[in-house]
Amino acid sequence: MITRVLVANRGEIARRVFATCRRLGIGTVAVYTDPDAGSPHVAEADVRVRLDGRDGYLDGAQLIAAARAAGADAVHPGYGFLSENAEFAAAVLAAGLTWIGPPVAAVQAMGSKIEAKKMMAAAGVPVLDELDPETVTAEQLPVLIKASAGGGGRGMRVVDDLAELSAQTEAARREAQSAFGDGTVFCERYLAAGHHVEVQVMADLHGTVWAVGERECSIQRRHQKIVEEAPSPLVERIPGMRDELFTAARLAAEAIDYAGAGTVEFMASDDGSFYFLEMNTRLQVEHPVTEETTGLDLVELQLLVADGGRLEAEPPRAQGHSIEVRVYAEDPAKDWQPQAGPVHRFEVPGALTEFGLLGRAGVRVDSGIVDGSEVSVFYDPMLAKVISRAPTRRQAAGILAAALARTRVHGIRTNRDLLVNVLRHPAFLDGATDTAFFATHGLTTLAAPLGNSSAVAWSTVAAALADATANRANASVLGGLPSGWRNLASGFQTKRYLDDAGGEHEVRYRLGRAGLELDGDDSVALVSASPDRVVLRVDGVEYPFEVARYGLSDSDVFVDGSLGPVHLIALPRFPDPDAAVAKGSLLAPMPGAVTRVAAAVGDTVTAGQPLIWLEAMKMEHTIVAPADGVLVELNVGAGRQVDVGAVLARIDDPQGESA
């Protein structure tokens, strides 16, 4: 019997496995690298072991040594890192430990997407033809370049111009090598408006193979899933498709003598035809939607199978609907660049459970962060998964959208507004969820802030009044009189803020015997104010606003209310001239390592020309020239580690003025 499990992973998935282990009375071991020393998964384990180096999660020898030192008798790999590494699985077994995953041969068989497709074709599973990047013709475009190892959108590129194929192939190879230690890539025909549908399989060591249920994961950005649901809207409306999918998934599992939890992924067309993409020999990020619609704990079943237990003859029948969204630390205003830094607060009001089955309509949160967590530049930027369950799909979407809109996420930019807008979009509610969703409906439009102009304006007033209340509470003059006291009417107070779109807002107000007076606006009245809560009455309707301040001089302001969340930067009364950045400067959008520099001081550059490549969070980011000009300053070289906001280079226009 398994008595103590080491999770060879971090963050949300480590916490998820620990939650089931605690419920079953199984001991837990966490491993961590220095950037993760303060991570919640470390604090929640019974015991923990430090790993040397930021890549310690990829060091199989260290992980096995940690398991032995901590008295673990089993290893759960989670997802990512070494979860689909056959050599690691074999080493765990060779060390006398239980591997909570599929047989080594199955991991090995599916470890190369190229070889896996050949094997599936032989087993009778429909596949898309593999294309050699060196021989692709214009007639075969568009094509999708994919990493043979790993997943998660890394090492993937869509190419519809033959002239770009070589450069994009090399970029995919670099990214795949960095993320998975294997730079092998291949091409296949790209279905621009297909459906990404996958089947959860579970098999035991006694010959039982379940097709537990299907999920649709078609809404993706940069080939990274962000919305997943069960059951699939496409499968629901195509008669007979579910049976065909389940048959193909079981064929795939049986072809490699699979055991444990796995996912067979397909690309499907609107007519219900589908093609094998890959098989993930591990638990998927999106597994909670299958749990919520079946009532199964998939981690518990993994433990059962690893212990030699038997599955029932058939899985339970799926009921209801579940939707999951992934909350990422990324900035929509900066081309969705991953973000690193502190999370001051993360709260989903009304969430019924964390890492556990809901059992009724509501919201579940599986998160890798808590208040005060630090998001590291060295790992994936996913912060949390928020999952809903309801009897119908529209109810599930409505419950989840409302919960996300009320979520308090302070201190770091996220994709939360995009997720809410997707869940409320008429096309999504109608089930029109193919992989071209963002291209069809406009990513920029869907990423619009939840708070409209009125929400920003009133939130700014609330922030100013909360700030004024805090100042009065913390200061006194003249032997105890409250700060701001006077026996004559005062002039207007002025506070200025920046919103996330770069717009500047000025609030001119004064508080007298008649209450709040806004310069030029008599529609807003103050009901009550404290340092962290302000209630305004606008045209007879009262709106409460929660106000939180962080950073130096409390300049980072987050206002949460029913009109939508608003983030503001309080501007100083007297700006520091030394803090200004020279015009034409290229700033690092995030902490990272410079991998390449493609220009030198004195070079003439054109707008959009790639100049510097930065690697962060296992992905490659390109810094381009913002305008035509001459590179007059270059402060970095390959291998240099830079902080967010660092000046990488500066461009002057040909007339000598900064670009």
Q: Residues 196-253: pLDDT tens digits?
A: 999 999 999 999 999 999 999 999 998 899 999 999 999 999 999 999 999 999 999 9
Helix, coil or strand: residue 223:
coil
Q: Could you tell me the CA-to-CA distances from 348 to 10, 73, 167, 475 in Å, in that order?
A: 22, 36, 43, 34
| CATH code for residues 4-100 | 3.40.50.20
Average pLDDT, the chain: 92
Instruction: Summarize pLDDT for 110-125 with one digit per residue, the tens.
Output: 988 888 999 999 999 9
| CATH code for residues 127-189 | 3.30.1490.20
Instruction: Summarize pLDDT for 60-89 with one digit per residue, the tens.
Output: 999 999 999 999 999 999 999 999 999 999
1 has pLDDT over 80: yes
Query: What is the rounded distance in angstroms from the CA atom of residue 154 to the CA atom of residue 470?
Result: 46
Cβ contact 262:204 at 8 Å: no
Residues, the chain = 659
Element spanning 343, H or E: none
180 has pLDDT over 90: no
Could you tell me the pLDDT band of residue 20, with boundaries at 50, 70 and 90? Answer: very high
Which DSSP symbol is given to 617?
Answer: T
The closest of 109, 149, 112 to 256, measured between CA atoms, is 109
The answer to whether the peptide bond before residue 35 is cis (omega within 30 degrees of 0) is: no
Task: Write the single-letter amino acid at 293.
Answer: T
264 has pLDDT over 70: yes
170 has pLDDT over 60: yes
587 has pLDDT over 90: no
Query: What is the rounded distance in angstroms from the CA atom of residue 605 to the CA atom of residue 620?
Result: 21
Residues 612, 613, 615, 619, Cα dihedral to 10°: 140
Could you tell me the pLDDT band of residue 279, with boundaries at 50, 70 and 90? Answer: very high
What does the radius of gyration of the chain's CA atoms come to, in whole angstroms? 27
Which DSSP symbol is given to 417?
Answer: H
User: Considering only the top CATH level, what class is 320-448?
Assistant: alpha beta
What are φ and ψ of residue 90, in 5° steps?
-65, -40
CA 526 to chain centre: 38
Q: Quick one: pLDDT at residue 182?
A: 86
What mean pLDDT comes out for the span 426-437? 97
Element spanning 209, H or E: strand 209-221
β-partners of residue 145 are 157, 187
Q: Quick one: pLDDT at residue 193?
A: 83
Cβ contact 78:8 at 8 Å: yes
307 has pLDDT over 90: yes
- What is the 3 state secondary structure string of 104-139? HHHHHHHCCHHHHHHHHHHCCCCECCEECCCCCCHH
Could you tell me the pLDDT band of residue 658, with boundaries at 50, 70 and 90? Answer: low
Q: Quick one: pLDDT at residue 227?
A: 98
Q: Quick one: pLDDT at residue 487?
A: 56
Task: Write the single-letter amino acid at 110.
Answer: M
Residue-range domain boundaries for the chain: 4-100, 127-189, 320-448, 453-474+491-570, 581-652
What mean pLDDT comes out for the span 95-114? 95
Query: What is the rounded distance in angstroms from the CA atom of residue 416 to the CA atom of residue 94?
Result: 44
What are φ and ψ of residue 638, in 5° steps?
-60, 135
Burial 70-99 (b: 16+ CB within 10 A, else e): bebbbbbbbbbbbbbbbebbbbbeebebbb
Task: Write the single-letter amino acid at 313.
Answer: A
Burial class (CB in 10 A: 0-12, 13-18, 19+), 251: middle
Q: Which DSSP string do the residues of 331-372 spell out, in sequence order?
A: EGGGTTEE--EE--EEE-TT--EESS---SSEEEEEES--TT
The closest of 72, 70, 11, 75 to 302, measured between CA atoms, is 75
Six token digits for residue 534: 């302000």
Q: What kind of architecture, by CATH, is found in domain 581-652?
A: Beta Barrel (2.40)
DSSP β-ladder status, 408-410 and 345-347:
antiparallel
Helix, coil or strand: residue 58:
helix
Instruction: Summarize pLDDT for 457-500 with one digit per residue, the tens.
Output: 999 999 999 999 988 877 655 544 444 555 555 678 999 999 98
Which DSSP symbol is given to 658?
Answer: B
Domains 127-189 and 320-448 share a fold: no
Lowest pLDDT segment from 356-365, 453-462, 470-479, 524-533:
470-479
Q: Quick one: pLDDT at residue 578?
A: 55
Could you tell me the pLDDT band of residue 553, with boundaries at 50, 70 and 90? Answer: confident
Could you tell me the pLDDT band of residue 105, with boundaries at 50, 70 and 90? Answer: very high
Q: What percent of the chain has pLDDT over 90?
A: 73
Higher pLDDT, 582 or 429: 429
Helix, coil or strand: residue 579:
helix
Instruction: Summarize pLDDT for 403-422 with one digit per residue, the tens.
Output: 999 999 999 999 999 999 99
What are φ and ψ of residue 179, in 5° steps?
-80, -35
Q: What percent of the chain has pLDDT over 70?
A: 95
Query: What is the rounded distance in angstroms from the CA atom of residue 38 to the CA atom of residue 357?
Result: 27
59 has pLDDT over 60: yes
Six token digits for residue 241: 């498709």
Query: What is the rounded distance in angstroms from the CA atom of residue 32 to the CA atom of residue 11?
Result: 10
Which DSSP symbol is given to 369?
Answer: -
Any idea which residue has 């089930």 for tokens? 431
Helix, coil or strand: residue 198:
strand
Instruction: Summarize pLDDT for 603-648 with one digit per residue, the tens.
Output: 999 988 999 988 876 677 788 898 899 999 999 998 898 887 789 9
Which DSSP symbol is given to 505?
Answer: E
Query: What is the rounded distance in angstroms from the CA atom of residue 648 to the CA atom of residue 601?
Result: 12
Which DSSP symbol is given to 442?
Answer: -
Six token digits for residue 471: 């100042």
What mean pLDDT comes out for the span 305-324? 98
The closest of 159, 247, 169 to 209, measured between CA atoms, is 247
Which of 345-359, 581-595, 622-636 holds the top average pLDDT? Answer: 345-359
Q: Could you tell me the CA-to-CA distances from 169 to 24, 28, 145, 425, 501 in Å, in that order?
A: 47, 42, 7, 35, 35
273 has pLDDT over 70: yes
